[in-house]
Amino acid sequence: MSAMGEVMGVQRFRVRYNEADPMGITYYATYFDWFTLGRTELLRDAGLPYAELERQGLLLPVLEARCRYVSPTRYDDLIRLETALTACTRTRMSFRYRVVREGSPERLAVEGETHHAFIDSKYKPIDVMKRYPQVWERLHKLLMTS
């Protein structure tokens, strides 16, 4: 249970060399790679490994992505990434992310969100509750625990 009131996935890792830019700080698009990592692991913990969903024909393309940059992180910094599912309807779902630089004191680095559609492998929208009832159930369990 997080301060945000949602079940969260938490990942810890270091900023990789190739993720930092000539300013010496983490390149702004890198955070979106981490968001992908965060929702992948959150879904895995909920029994929904994304690679498996794709094999079953359920894709989750991004409709919108957003990131607000609060303080920079640097190569080799220890990062804590928190991911929460914040909404899930029959056709869409949303995640929220917080990236914290660990240490004393720890500092909030960025906050972000992504919004996704449920589509099939032909890029047609699908009703996840009808077509994938087990997925629907697990997503709502994830959403409800908050």
Q: Is the backbone of residue 76 left (phi > 0), alpha (psi -120 to 50) or beta?
A: left
Query: Which of 68, 108, 120, 125 is the binder for a second copy (CB under 8 A)?
Result: 68
**Residue 67 touching a second copy (CB under 8 A):** yes
Q: Residue type for 125, please?
A: P
Distances from the Cα of 42 to the Cαs of 76, 81, 137, in angstroms?
24, 11, 15
**At closest approach, how far in Å is the CB of 11 from a second copy?**
11
- How many C-beta atoms lie closer than 10 Å to residue 106's C-beta? 11
- Those residues with Cβ within 8 angstroms of residue 74's Cβ, 6 or more apart along the chain or in another chain: 15, 20, 24, 25, 26
Interacting residue with a second copy among 2, 49, 80, 143 (CB under 8 A):
49
Does 124 interact with a second copy (rule: CB under 8 A)?
A: no
Q: Does 120 bind a second copy (CB under 8 A)?
A: no
3-state helix, strand, coil in the chain (%, to 5): 30, 35, 35
Which of 40, 86, 91, 146 is in the footprint of a second copy by CB under 8 A? 40
| Span interacting with a second copy, options 20-28, 93-101, 127-135, 136-144, rule CB under 8 A | 20-28
The residues that touch a second copy, with contacts defined as CB under 8 A, are 16-18, 20-25, 27-30, 32-33, 36-37, 40, 49-51, 54, 59, 61-69, 72, 74-76, 114, 123
